[in-house]
Amino acid sequence: MPLVIAIDGPAASGKGTLARRLAQHYGLPHLDTGLLYRSVALTMLDAGFSLDDTDAAARAAETLIADRLADPRLRERAMGEAASRISSVPAVRAALLAWQRSFAGNAVGAVLDGRDIGTVICPDARVKLFVTASAEERARRRHLELTARGEDTTLAMILADVRARDERDANRSAAPLKAAEDAVILDTTELDAEAAFAAAKHVVDGARTQ
């Protein structure tokens, strides 16, 4: 039986790092679904469209090219903000739904992380994790990450961004951010990467024996 691991959570909660570790450990393909939305936003901006142009957003989502997911610009802070805006467009989410489900349909399974994996994309996933942390801790982590890459920003700016994204993600009409009813909640506020991985692995191993 395929092992599909759905990992959801807010920005900078550690879900991406955790997803990559789990995928490597269990030999599964991994998809950071946030890159899909960042790619849609980048495609629009490169073509000169406003992020408020919902028709252009839908077209960009419908013609998404997997090769663009490797563009280093997708990791920039501005793309995170742009993706948060794009992800609220129902037509964009609908266009990317089949793309994500196809990836999850791998014969051996897959690990996907995002905002609506356990609730919308893979509601039948064998393992569902909702990874979270305090807004202050998430802002601290993101600030360290961005400054390490040479981006000029402040902790206060990042905290404001985190809170704004949380608000948009939780209150959008299309697939709002929330934990699936059968998801295991993993609060990483006080956990380092190793401790978070150990806790998640315990959950996955338990599900595999059932």
Contact (Cβ atoms closer than 8 angstroms) between residue 80 and residue 88: no
Q: Global pTM?
A: 0.91
* Binding-site residue ranges for ATP: 9-17
Among residues 133, 82, 125, which one has the least CA distance to residue 101? 125
Per-residue pLDDT reduced to its tens digit, 76-132? 888 988 998 898 899 999 999 989 999 999 899 999 999 999 999 999 999 999 999
Of 6-15, 23-32, 100-109, 171-180, the one with minimum mean pLDDT is: 171-180
pLDDT band at 197, cuts 50/70/90? very high
What pLDDT sits at residue 60?
A: 95
CATH superfamily of 3-203: P-loop containing nucleotide triphosphate hydrolases (3.40.50.300)
Tokens representing 158 are: 């990042």
Domain locations in the chain as residue ranges: 3-203
Q: How far apart are CA 6 and CA 123, in angstroms?
A: 9
Order of strands, edge to edge, in the sheet holding 184-187?
Answer: 30-32, 109-114, 3-8, 127-132, 184-187
Binding residues, by number, are 9-17
